[in-house]
Amino acid sequence: MEDQAVCCYRHPQRETGISCTRCERPICPECMISASVGFHCPECVSGRVPAGAGASAVGPPPRAAQPRTMAGGTITSDPRLITKILVAINIAVWLAALSAGDRLVNDLDLVGRAYDPGAAQIVGVAEGQWWRLATSIFLHQQVIHIAFNMLSLWWIGGPLEAALGRVRFIVLYMLSGLGGSALSYLLAAQNQPSLGASGAIFGLLGATAVLMRRLNYDMRPVIALLALNLLFTFTWSGIAWQAHVGGLVAGTVVAYGMVHAPREKRALVQRGTCALVLLGIVAMVWIRTIQLTG
Protein backbone atom coordinates (compact mmCIF):
# COMPACT_ATOMS: atom_id res chain seq x y z
CA MET A 1 0.00 0.00 0.00
CA GLU A 2 1.44 3.37 -1.01
CA ASP A 3 2.01 6.07 1.59
CA GLN A 4 -0.54 8.88 1.45
CA ALA A 5 0.90 12.27 0.53
CA VAL A 6 1.16 14.70 3.44
CA CYS A 7 -0.31 18.12 2.66
CA CYS A 8 -0.28 21.48 4.40
CA TYR A 9 -3.18 21.78 6.85
CA ARG A 10 -3.91 25.33 5.59
CA HIS A 11 -3.36 24.55 1.90
CA PRO A 12 -4.54 20.95 1.30
CA GLN A 13 -3.39 21.04 -2.34
CA ARG A 14 0.28 21.52 -1.39
CA GLU A 15 2.40 18.53 -0.42
CA THR A 16 5.04 19.13 2.23
CA GLY A 17 7.67 17.36 4.26
CA ILE A 18 7.84 19.93 7.09
CA SER A 19 5.72 20.03 10.25
CA CYS A 20 5.21 22.67 12.93
CA THR A 21 7.50 21.83 15.84
CA ARG A 22 4.77 22.87 18.34
CA CYS A 23 1.54 21.35 17.10
CA GLU A 24 3.12 18.85 14.66
CA ARG A 25 0.75 19.74 11.81
CA PRO A 26 2.24 19.75 8.26
CA ILE A 27 2.97 23.21 6.82
CA CYS A 28 4.06 24.50 3.40
CA PRO A 29 6.68 27.24 2.75
CA GLU A 30 4.03 29.98 2.78
CA CYS A 31 2.95 28.96 6.29
CA MET A 32 6.41 28.38 7.77
CA ILE A 33 7.52 30.83 10.46
CA SER A 34 11.11 30.48 11.58
CA ALA A 35 11.56 29.56 15.24
CA SER A 36 14.53 28.86 17.50
CA VAL A 37 14.15 25.20 16.56
CA GLY A 38 12.50 24.31 13.26
CA PHE A 39 9.39 26.13 12.05
CA HIS A 40 6.05 27.10 13.59
CA CYS A 41 2.66 27.53 11.95
CA PRO A 42 0.82 30.90 12.03
CA GLU A 43 -1.69 29.68 14.64
CA CYS A 44 1.02 28.61 17.07
CA VAL A 45 2.78 31.97 16.74
CA SER A 46 -0.45 33.91 17.31
CA GLY A 47 -1.64 31.60 20.10
CA ARG A 48 -4.71 30.36 18.19
CA VAL A 49 -3.82 26.64 18.35
CA PRO A 50 -7.00 24.52 18.32
CA ALA A 51 -7.49 21.95 21.08
CA GLY A 52 -6.06 18.53 20.26
CA ALA A 53 -3.79 19.84 17.52
CA GLY A 54 -0.80 18.10 19.02
CA ALA A 55 0.91 17.26 22.27
CA SER A 56 3.42 20.03 21.88
CA ALA A 57 0.65 22.63 21.64
CA VAL A 58 0.36 22.73 25.46
CA GLY A 59 1.74 25.87 27.06
CA PRO A 60 2.07 29.51 26.08
CA PRO A 61 2.69 30.45 22.44
CA PRO A 62 6.29 31.09 21.44
CA ARG A 63 7.43 34.67 21.75
CA ALA A 64 8.08 36.19 18.36
CA ALA A 65 8.56 39.85 17.62
CA GLN A 66 7.50 39.31 14.03
CA PRO A 67 6.51 36.26 11.99
CA ARG A 68 9.25 35.14 9.60
CA THR A 69 9.51 32.99 6.51
CA MET A 70 11.84 30.00 6.41
CA ALA A 71 14.60 32.29 5.06
CA GLY A 72 14.02 34.96 7.70
CA GLY A 73 11.80 37.27 5.64
CA THR A 74 8.70 38.98 6.97
CA ILE A 75 5.35 37.23 6.55
CA THR A 76 3.08 39.52 4.48
CA SER A 77 -0.60 39.59 3.63
CA ASP A 78 0.17 39.43 -0.12
CA PRO A 79 3.02 36.95 -0.74
CA ARG A 80 2.96 37.68 -4.49
CA LEU A 81 3.29 41.48 -4.41
CA ILE A 82 6.85 41.66 -5.78
CA THR A 83 6.03 39.06 -8.41
CA LYS A 84 3.07 41.16 -9.56
CA ILE A 85 5.22 44.31 -9.65
CA LEU A 86 7.92 42.57 -11.71
CA VAL A 87 5.36 41.29 -14.19
CA ALA A 88 3.85 44.77 -14.46
CA ILE A 89 7.26 46.40 -15.05
CA ASN A 90 8.14 43.90 -17.78
CA ILE A 91 4.81 44.42 -19.53
CA ALA A 92 5.10 48.22 -19.24
CA VAL A 93 8.59 48.21 -20.77
CA TRP A 94 7.38 45.88 -23.54
CA LEU A 95 4.50 48.23 -24.37
CA ALA A 96 6.87 51.20 -24.32
CA ALA A 97 9.21 49.37 -26.72
CA LEU A 98 6.29 48.62 -29.04
CA SER A 99 5.25 52.26 -29.16
CA ALA A 100 8.76 53.77 -29.32
CA GLY A 101 10.14 51.33 -31.86
CA ASP A 102 13.75 50.24 -32.34
CA ARG A 103 15.23 53.40 -30.81
CA LEU A 104 14.25 52.44 -27.25
CA VAL A 105 15.31 48.83 -27.77
CA ASN A 106 18.71 49.94 -29.06
CA ASP A 107 19.15 52.17 -26.01
CA LEU A 108 18.25 49.47 -23.45
CA ASP A 109 19.35 46.09 -24.82
CA LEU A 110 22.56 44.35 -23.78
CA VAL A 111 25.42 44.84 -26.20
CA GLY A 112 29.14 44.75 -25.45
CA ARG A 113 30.49 47.23 -27.96
CA ALA A 114 29.05 48.00 -31.40
CA TYR A 115 28.33 50.80 -33.82
CA ASP A 116 24.75 52.07 -33.70
CA PRO A 117 23.76 53.60 -37.06
CA GLY A 118 20.75 55.33 -35.52
CA ALA A 119 22.86 57.12 -32.92
CA ALA A 120 25.87 57.38 -35.29
CA GLN A 121 28.23 56.33 -32.53
CA ILE A 122 29.75 53.32 -30.79
CA VAL A 123 27.57 52.10 -27.93
CA GLY A 124 27.62 49.31 -25.35
CA VAL A 125 28.57 48.36 -21.83
CA ALA A 126 32.25 48.76 -22.67
CA GLU A 127 31.51 52.39 -23.53
CA GLY A 128 30.29 53.09 -20.02
CA GLN A 129 26.63 52.27 -20.61
CA TRP A 130 26.41 50.04 -17.52
CA TRP A 131 22.63 50.37 -17.28
CA ARG A 132 22.27 47.94 -20.18
CA LEU A 133 23.17 45.06 -17.83
CA ALA A 134 19.97 45.79 -15.84
CA THR A 135 17.57 47.31 -18.37
CA SER A 136 17.96 44.39 -20.75
CA ILE A 137 16.49 42.13 -18.04
CA PHE A 138 13.12 43.90 -18.39
CA LEU A 139 13.16 44.31 -22.18
CA HIS A 140 11.22 42.13 -24.65
CA GLN A 141 10.09 42.47 -28.27
CA GLN A 142 8.22 39.36 -29.46
CA VAL A 143 4.84 38.52 -27.92
CA ILE A 144 5.74 34.86 -27.43
CA HIS A 145 8.97 35.86 -25.66
CA ILE A 146 7.35 38.03 -23.01
CA ALA A 147 4.35 35.72 -22.67
CA PHE A 148 6.52 32.69 -21.90
CA ASN A 149 8.76 34.61 -19.49
CA MET A 150 5.90 36.26 -17.60
CA LEU A 151 3.97 33.01 -17.24
CA SER A 152 7.13 31.39 -15.89
CA LEU A 153 7.71 34.31 -13.52
CA TRP A 154 4.15 34.08 -12.23
CA TRP A 155 4.20 30.32 -11.68
CA ILE A 156 7.68 30.15 -10.14
CA GLY A 157 7.96 33.55 -8.50
CA GLY A 158 4.94 33.38 -6.20
CA PRO A 159 5.98 30.32 -4.16
CA LEU A 160 9.57 31.57 -3.97
CA GLU A 161 8.50 35.00 -2.78
CA ALA A 162 6.32 33.38 -0.10
CA ALA A 163 9.19 31.18 1.07
CA LEU A 164 11.94 33.82 1.00
CA GLY A 165 10.16 37.09 1.72
CA ARG A 166 9.95 40.19 -0.45
CA VAL A 167 13.43 41.63 0.04
CA ARG A 168 15.24 38.33 -0.45
CA PHE A 169 13.12 37.51 -3.48
CA ILE A 170 13.87 40.79 -5.28
CA VAL A 171 17.58 40.36 -4.47
CA LEU A 172 17.45 36.83 -5.89
CA TYR A 173 15.70 38.03 -9.04
CA MET A 174 18.05 40.93 -9.72
CA LEU A 175 21.26 39.02 -9.00
CA SER A 176 20.06 36.18 -11.26
CA GLY A 177 19.29 38.63 -14.05
CA LEU A 178 22.58 40.47 -13.62
CA GLY A 179 24.46 37.17 -13.48
CA GLY A 180 22.95 36.24 -16.85
CA SER A 181 23.80 39.66 -18.30
CA ALA A 182 27.39 39.51 -17.01
CA LEU A 183 28.12 36.06 -18.45
CA SER A 184 26.53 37.04 -21.75
CA TYR A 185 28.65 40.20 -21.83
CA LEU A 186 31.76 38.16 -21.03
CA LEU A 187 31.33 35.33 -23.52
CA ALA A 188 29.06 36.51 -26.34
CA ALA A 189 30.24 38.43 -29.39
CA GLN A 190 30.73 42.09 -28.57
CA ASN A 191 28.24 43.24 -31.20
CA GLN A 192 25.59 40.61 -30.38
CA PRO A 193 22.56 42.25 -28.72
CA SER A 194 20.46 40.32 -26.21
CA LEU A 195 17.42 41.06 -24.08
CA GLY A 196 14.77 39.38 -21.96
CA ALA A 197 14.09 38.13 -18.45
CA SER A 198 15.19 34.57 -19.24
CA GLY A 199 18.37 34.81 -17.16
CA ALA A 200 16.38 35.87 -14.10
CA ILE A 201 13.79 33.14 -14.76
CA PHE A 202 16.53 30.49 -14.91
CA GLY A 203 17.81 31.84 -11.59
CA LEU A 204 14.36 31.33 -10.10
CA LEU A 205 14.33 27.78 -11.47
CA GLY A 206 17.64 27.06 -9.77
CA ALA A 207 16.33 28.58 -6.54
CA THR A 208 13.21 26.42 -6.76
CA ALA A 209 15.38 23.31 -6.99
CA VAL A 210 17.36 24.43 -3.92
CA LEU A 211 14.16 25.12 -1.97
CA MET A 212 12.55 21.80 -2.90
CA ARG A 213 15.70 19.95 -1.86
CA ARG A 214 15.72 21.83 1.44
CA LEU A 215 12.09 20.79 2.08
CA ASN A 216 12.71 17.18 1.02
CA TYR A 217 10.22 17.43 -1.86
CA ASP A 218 10.29 15.12 -4.87
CA MET A 219 13.03 16.61 -7.06
CA ARG A 220 12.06 14.85 -10.28
CA PRO A 221 9.58 17.49 -11.58
CA VAL A 222 11.95 20.43 -11.18
CA ILE A 223 14.92 18.46 -12.56
CA ALA A 224 12.85 17.49 -15.61
CA LEU A 225 11.80 21.12 -16.09
CA LEU A 226 15.40 22.33 -15.83
CA ALA A 227 16.62 19.67 -18.24
CA LEU A 228 13.91 20.56 -20.76
CA ASN A 229 14.71 24.27 -20.58
CA LEU A 230 18.44 23.62 -20.94
CA LEU A 231 17.73 21.41 -23.95
CA PHE A 232 15.84 24.27 -25.59
CA THR A 233 18.63 26.66 -24.62
CA PHE A 234 21.32 24.73 -26.46
CA THR A 235 19.30 23.45 -29.43
CA TRP A 236 17.15 26.41 -30.49
CA SER A 237 18.77 29.13 -32.55
CA GLY A 238 18.69 32.75 -31.44
CA ILE A 239 18.87 31.98 -27.71
CA ALA A 240 21.59 33.55 -25.58
CA TRP A 241 22.66 30.46 -23.67
CA GLN A 242 25.17 32.54 -21.70
CA ALA A 243 22.35 34.50 -20.05
CA HIS A 244 20.49 31.32 -19.13
CA VAL A 245 23.52 29.61 -17.63
CA GLY A 246 24.69 32.74 -15.82
CA GLY A 247 21.27 33.31 -14.31
CA LEU A 248 20.94 29.68 -13.29
CA VAL A 249 24.29 29.62 -11.49
CA ALA A 250 23.74 32.97 -9.75
CA GLY A 251 20.21 32.08 -8.63
CA THR A 252 21.22 28.67 -7.34
CA VAL A 253 24.11 30.04 -5.29
CA VAL A 254 22.06 32.92 -3.84
CA ALA A 255 19.16 30.63 -2.93
CA TYR A 256 21.45 28.09 -1.30
CA GLY A 257 22.91 30.77 0.94
CA MET A 258 19.45 32.05 1.82
CA VAL A 259 17.72 28.79 2.77
CA HIS A 260 20.67 26.98 4.32
CA ALA A 261 22.01 29.86 6.42
CA PRO A 262 22.07 28.89 10.13
CA ARG A 263 19.56 30.92 12.13
CA GLU A 264 22.14 32.39 14.50
CA LYS A 265 24.24 33.68 11.57
CA ARG A 266 21.50 34.07 9.00
CA ALA A 267 22.03 37.72 8.10
CA LEU A 268 25.81 37.33 7.84
CA VAL A 269 25.65 34.24 5.63
CA GLN A 270 22.89 35.58 3.38
CA ARG A 271 24.52 38.97 2.87
CA GLY A 272 27.92 37.36 2.38
CA THR A 273 26.55 34.99 -0.28
CA CYS A 274 24.87 37.83 -2.16
CA ALA A 275 28.02 39.94 -1.90
CA LEU A 276 30.15 37.13 -3.36
CA VAL A 277 27.76 36.68 -6.27
CA LEU A 278 27.73 40.43 -6.89
CA LEU A 279 31.53 40.46 -6.74
CA GLY A 280 31.65 37.71 -9.36
CA ILE A 281 29.32 39.74 -11.59
CA VAL A 282 31.47 42.85 -11.23
CA ALA A 283 34.61 40.81 -11.97
CA MET A 284 33.18 39.42 -15.22
CA VAL A 285 32.09 42.88 -16.35
CA TRP A 286 35.49 44.36 -15.48
CA ILE A 287 37.43 41.62 -17.29
CA ARG A 288 35.35 41.93 -20.45
CA THR A 289 35.53 45.73 -20.45
CA ILE A 290 39.34 45.57 -20.30
CA GLN A 291 39.32 43.07 -23.18
CA LEU A 292 37.20 45.35 -25.37
CA THR A 293 38.83 48.67 -24.54
CA GLY A 294 42.39 47.73 -23.62
The residue extents of the domains of the chain are 1-52, 80-293
pLDDT 10s digit of each residue in the chain, 294 long?
Answer: 344 567 888 888 777 767 787 787 888 877 877 765 567 788 887 765 554 454 444 444 444 446 677 788 887 778 889 999 999 999 999 999 999 878 899 999 999 999 888 778 999 999 999 999 999 999 998 899 999 999 999 999 999 998 899 999 999 999 999 999 999 999 999 999 999 999 999 999 999 999 999 888 888 888 998 899 899 888 887 788 999 999 999 999 999 999 999 988 999 999 999 999 999 999 999 999 999 997
Nearest of 153, 175, 163 to residue 253 by alpha carbon:
175
Residue 269: what residue type? V
Question: Distance between CA 229 and CA 223 in Å, rounded?
Answer: 10
Nearest of 111, 177, 168 to residue 138 by alpha carbon:
177
Instruction: Return the ∠ at Cα 66 (arms to 16 and 72), rounded to 5°.
Output: 50
Instruction: List the catalytic residues.
Output: 198, 244
- CB of 114 within 8 A of CB of 124? yes
- Select 80-293's CATH number: 3.30.565.10, 3.40.47.10, 1.20.1540.10, 3.40.50.720: 1.20.1540.10
